[in-house]
Structure 1
Amino acid sequence: MAERVVVIGRGRLGTRVARAVSAQLVGGRDHSLEVVRAAGVIVIAVPDPAIESVAERIAPVLDPSHVVLHCAGSRGRDVLASCAARGASTGVMHPLVAIASEESVLADRTFVIDGDERAIDAASRIARACEARVVIAPLHGPAYHAAAALVANGSTALAALGVSILERLGVPSGDAARAIGGLLASVAQNVASVGVPRALTGPIARGDAQTVARHREALAEIDRVTLAAYDAVAPSILEVATRAGLDGRAQRAIRRALGRRGLSGPRGAS
């Protein structure tokens, strides 16, 4: 980027973004205000509860030439109000990426961006430098972030249960993690390429109640915690299968195989 960029926050995301745009990386607490003053674009990549206090700390050295972005999906532009009051352009730039390390891939992922015109432009240029896609929409807040957390954190929790079962069946830990990771990658590819509900596969999608019943019997013997997770997620799987065209008879058979635990059928059907 032609403008000088400063990234505040030395965490995984801040480090990754700074590397992509050749930005100066400073700590969330130990940064120099003169460094901020000299920048054109300031990216605040600190934990969500700290964003507003960092914004208030840098606000006195800002003017209308500056653009300030934060990277939190759960918060809107309002946490940058102190910067906006100084005339700075403000916006949000949230990467829909599960960043577990500094090597996590940003290319071909999606940055969800909102803000005023200059902030959107700056955030879009940063996203392009990361080789990411851009969605411009005022989505940031608890509901949007809950959707992201449900998928990213929920899939990791389910993967941990899957790895544990494979380990109990004798698969070495590393092999189990790679196998489940590959399975998750195939699911992600299907969601991206054919969308939902078409991406759904497996016995519930096929209406194979016998296999579902055998799953539950096996898990009851091996790990009842995993059985509880299986039963908890089954209504959502059945809902997607119904959207994909699973007929009523098959739906009823699946619900019987699941013991009707909390299931009244998709959209309240009996």
Structure 2
Amino acid sequence: MKTLNVIGAGKVGTVLAKNFIERQVFSGQQVMNRSLPSSQAAVDWLGAGAAVDDLHHMQPADVTMLTVTDDQIVPLCAAMAEAGLLHAGSIVFHCSGAKASTELQAAIAAGAAVASVHPVRSFADGKAIASQFAGTICSVEGDAHALAVLLPALQAIGAQTVEISADSKLLYHAGSVFASNYLVTLMETALRSYQAAGIPAAVAQQMAAPLARQTLDNVFAMGTAKALTGPIARGDMQTVALQQKMVAAWDQAAGDLYQAFTPLTQAVAARRHSEK
């Protein structure tokens, strides 16, 4: 069984490592976080491996997973190479949605195979996700040798794997940002709009929740065009213009957001009418 080191064992790192270890895909070797107590807490939850807090205390592993912030990937990979943790035949992969495997140049120079693995899922509650990981889509790209190991490893823990191009990572990840991160921002703006109109916060949530949930259900059941309702779908552009002006008077950033959504929504509405 191949050994696994984890550097940056936060929510994503521990969820993947937990599944790899429990299903005996990889054996947990070492975990490194910024502090030894943090590393030890991760090891305790994983139930395998040894905690370290410095690269010079790590031993080379067959597979190393970097689940760190995007701006740490390149310098960390270079530091690993300098510490002698990379060699021909070893595999290094990171879990950034936006960065490609080509960011791991120091590993490539050392003869290691590289890849990126991005689970398309919200990790707000990491421990809950760990037991519900099966069925998660993981977008993967990288060297043939790395993928020959990682694709079956991911499939062994129940992931659905989709191979993508390294050149399209930023655009691909933008889809996840729109579907998840910006959706939160949009709901925050909606709730603030209700409250600015005098609706109590608790009631605003009661208003928004069924609208948001039903709309998302409709999108995935009927498609975006058929799910669209409201003034733009009806062609009430005078209402849209008046509303945008009112929103901008209340909050300029929210007004700009409303205005930015208008032509995109008009395009969806046009498709809706053409599909009738």
| TM surpasses 0.5 | yes
Shift in Å at residue 33 of structure 1?
Answer: 5.0
C-alpha distance in structure 2 between counterparts of 1:44 and 1:184, whole Å: 35
C-alpha distance in structure 2 between counterparts of 1:71 and 1:181, whole Å: 32
C-alpha distance in structure 2 between counterparts of 1:3 and 1:10, whole Å: 19
Q: Give me the TM-score of the superposition, normalised by structure 1.
A: 0.72
Match of 1:156 in 2: 184
SS at match of 1:94: strand
C-alpha distance in structure 2 between counterparts of 1:167 and 1:129, whole Å: 48
SS at match of 1:69: strand
Shift in Å at residue 116 of structure 1?
Answer: 1.8
- Pairing of 1:191-210 with structure 2 (within 5 A): 191-209=219-237
Of the three residues 84, 94, 107, the one matched with 1:83 is: 107
C-alpha distance in structure 2 between counterparts of 1:3 and 1:166, whole Å: 54
Query: 1:89 and 1:182, CA in 2 relative to 1: closer, same or farther beyond 3 A?
Result: farther
C-alpha distance in structure 1 between counterparts of 2:210 and 2:145, whole Å: 40
Shift in Å at residue 235 of structure 1?
Answer: 1.0
C-alpha distance in structure 2 between counterparts of 1:232 and 1:132, whole Å: 36
Shift in Å at residue 87 of structure 1?
Answer: 2.3
C-alpha distance in structure 2 between counterparts of 1:230 and 1:179, whole Å: 19
Shift in Å at residue 101 of structure 1?
Answer: 4.2
Shift in Å at residue 179 of structure 1?
Answer: 6.0
Asked if 1:229 is matched to 2:235, the reply is no
- Residue pair 2:249, 2:255 contacting (<8 A) in 1 also: no
- 1:68 partner amino acid: V
Match of 2:68 in 1: 46
Asked if 1:102 is matched to 2:126, the reply is yes
C-alpha distance in structure 2 between counterparts of 1:35 and 1:20, whole Å: 22
RMSD of the TM alignment (CA)? 3.4
C-alpha distance in structure 2 between counterparts of 1:87 and 1:233, whole Å: 47
C-alpha distance in structure 2 between counterparts of 1:132 and 1:171, whole Å: 42
- Residue pair 1:18, 1:25 contacting (<8 A) in 2 also: no
Of the three residues 27, 32, 49, the one matched with 1:26 is: 32
- Residue pair 2:232, 2:266 contacting (<8 A) in 1 also: yes
Cα shift readout 1:70-117 (whole Å, capped 9, x = no counterpart): 111222222212212222221111123343343474554422100122
- Residue pair 2:7, 2:31 contacting (<8 A) in 1 also: yes
- Residue pair 2:97, 2:118 contacting (<8 A) in 1 also: yes
- Pairing of 1:1-270 with structure 2 (within 5 A): 2-22=1-21, 23=28, 24-27=30-33, 30-32=53-55, 35-37=58-60, 39-59=61-81, 60-103=84-127, 105=129, 106-128=133-155, 131-139=158-166, 140-168=168-196, 169-173=198-202, 176-177=204-205, 180=208, 183-209=211-237, 212=240, 215-216=243-244, 219=247, 225-245=253-273
- 1:3 partner amino acid: K
Shift in Å at residue 41 of structure 1?
Answer: 1.7
Query: 1:93 and 1:177, CA in 2 relative to 1: closer, same or farther beyond 3 A?
Result: farther
Structure 2: segments with no counterpart, 5+ residues:
22-27, 36-52
C-alpha distance in structure 1 between counterparts of 2:145 and 2:242, whole Å: 57
Match of 1:256 in 2: none
- Residue pair 1:28, 1:46 contacting (<8 A) in 2 also: no
- Residue pair 1:96, 1:110 contacting (<8 A) in 2 also: yes
- 2:258 partner amino acid: Y
Identity level (%): 27
Shift in Å at residue 66 of structure 1?
Answer: 1.7
Structure 1: segments with no counterpart, 5+ residues:
248-270
Match of 2:46 in 1: none
Q: How many pairs align?
A: 244
